[in-house]
């Protein structure tokens, strides 16, 4: 089995995608495991998740934009394994191993509204290691959403992901508390009320399973019981 992408490769892919989108007039930011790692979590990400801040744009067009404007020709599209799907999957070709094994990295492109991702004001996008990232609290709350989705999935491979979600959530919680993040701060007033309310319901579920997290959620301005 070919080795997964390194953290440095993940950052290089993200930087390349961000540059292409910016050259084409689009602002974007990272979320998912790569954004978590940029904020300081310890798990090495294995793919790149980007939100293009263009709610009315078509994600298939945005994927093709990366492919068409990559001078190195490393971004490429393949049909989804789901025969009913009407979308293609974006990958990035990494250097092969010395024995010639091909290495690739998956790149997910989303827009606000997908997976309940809120429409992030461009002025609220953070910079970590010269890369644009989703603000910390919505990143944490989307990771929490991923935990409930994986936990409740009918697919075994998805359910297995809930354990690494918990690792990420616990580390992000600690990081957020250390930066004095609070849900009622003016810098987060743009978050939709239903996004916060839905997160509150998931927090009750999380604390029920992981009581040790209660005080940290309270520190961020949420109820935990």
Instruction: Give domain status of residue 127, yes or no.
Output: no
Instruction: Give domain status of residue 161, yes or no.
Output: yes
Q: Please identify, among 116, 147, 165, the residue that sits at the C-terminal boundary of a domain.
A: 116
Do 19 and 102 sit in the same domain of this protein? yes
Sequence-distant (6+) residues with CB within 8 A of 201 are none
Do 95 and 142 sit in the same domain of this protein? no
Do 80 and 22 sit in the same domain of this protein? yes
Do 112 and 142 sit in the same domain of this protein? no
Q: What's the mean pLDDT in 121-125?
A: 96
Instruction: Give domain status of residue 73, yes or no.
Output: yes
Q: Please identify, among 84, 116, 148, the residue that sits at the C-terminal boundary of a domain.
A: 116
Do 139 and 108 sit in the same domain of this protein? no
Do 154 and 98 sit in the same domain of this protein? no
Do 91 and 145 sit in the same domain of this protein? no
Instruction: Give domain status of residue 51, yes or no.
Output: yes
User: Beta 103-110 vs 75-79: how paired, if at all?
Assistant: unpaired
Do 147 and 102 sit in the same domain of this protein? no
The CA R_g of the chain, rounded to the nearest whole Å, is 18
Q: What is the DSSP string of 18-54?
A: HHHHHHTT--EEEEHHHHHHHHT-SSPP-EEEEEES-
| Summary mean pLDDT of the chain | 94
Do 44 and 103 sit in the same domain of this protein? yes
How high is the pLDDT of residue 217? 97
Instruction: Give domain status of residue 123, yes or no.
Output: no
Distances (CA, A) of 23 to 28, 66, 112, 124, 223: 12, 11, 20, 20, 43
Q: pLDDT of 33-48, one tens digit each?
A: 999 999 999 999 999 9
Instruction: Give domain status of residue 2, yes or no.
Output: no
Residue 209: give the domain boundaries.
135-219
Do 102 and 30 sit in the same domain of this protein? yes
Q: pLDDT of 72-103, one tens digit each?
A: 999 999 988 777 778 899 999 998 877 767 89
In the predicted model, is pLDDT for residue 1 greater than 80? no
Helix (H) or strand (E) holding 133: strand 131-133
Structure tokens at 129: 């290691």
Q: What is the DSSP string of 72-126?
A: T--EEEEE-SSTT---EEEEEEEPPPTT---EEEEEEEE-TTGGG-----GGG-E
Say how many domains are in the chain: 2
CATH number of the domain that residue 23 is part of: 3.30.460.10
Instruction: Give domain status of residue 104, yes or no.
Output: yes
**In sequence order, what are the beta bridge partners of 92?**
75, 105
pLDDT band at 3 (very low <50, low <70, confident <90, very high): confident
Instruction: Give domain status of residue 225, yes or no.
Output: no
Q: Please identify, among 52, 81, 116, the residue that sits at the C-terminal boundary of a domain.
A: 116
How high is the pLDDT of residue 65? 97
Do 91 and 184 sit in the same domain of this protein? no
Do 191 and 99 sit in the same domain of this protein? no
CA dist 194 and 64 (Å) reads: 32
């Amino acid at each position: 089995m070919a080795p997964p992408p390194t953290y440095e490769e993940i950052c290089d892919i993200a930087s390349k995608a961000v540059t292409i989108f910016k050259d084409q007039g689009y602002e974007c930011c990272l979320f998912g495991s790569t954004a978590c790692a940029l904020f300081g979590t310890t798990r090495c990400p294995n793919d790149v998740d980007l939100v293009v801040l263009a709610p009315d744009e078509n994600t298939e067009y945005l994927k093709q934009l990366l492919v068409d404007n990559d001078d190195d020709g490393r971004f490429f599209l393949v049909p989804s394994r789901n025969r009913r799907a009407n979308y293609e999957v974006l990958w990035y070709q990494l250097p092969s191993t010395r024995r010639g094994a091909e290495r690739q990295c998956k790149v997910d492109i989303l827009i606000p509204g997908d997976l309940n991702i809120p429409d992030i004001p461009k002025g609220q996008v953070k910079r970590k290691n010269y890369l644009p990232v989703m603000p910390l609290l919505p990143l944490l709350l989307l990771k929490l959403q991923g935990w409930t989705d994986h936990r409740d999935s009918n697919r075994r491979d998805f359910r297995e992901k809930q354990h690494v979600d918990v690792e990420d959530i616990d580390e992000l919680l600690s990081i957020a508390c250390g930066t004095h993040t609070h849900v009622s701060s003016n810098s987060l007033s743009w978050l939709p009320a239903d996004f916060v309310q839905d997160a509150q319901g998931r927090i009750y579920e999380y604390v029920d399973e992981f009581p040790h997290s209660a005080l940290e959620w309270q520190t961020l301005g949420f109820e935990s019981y």
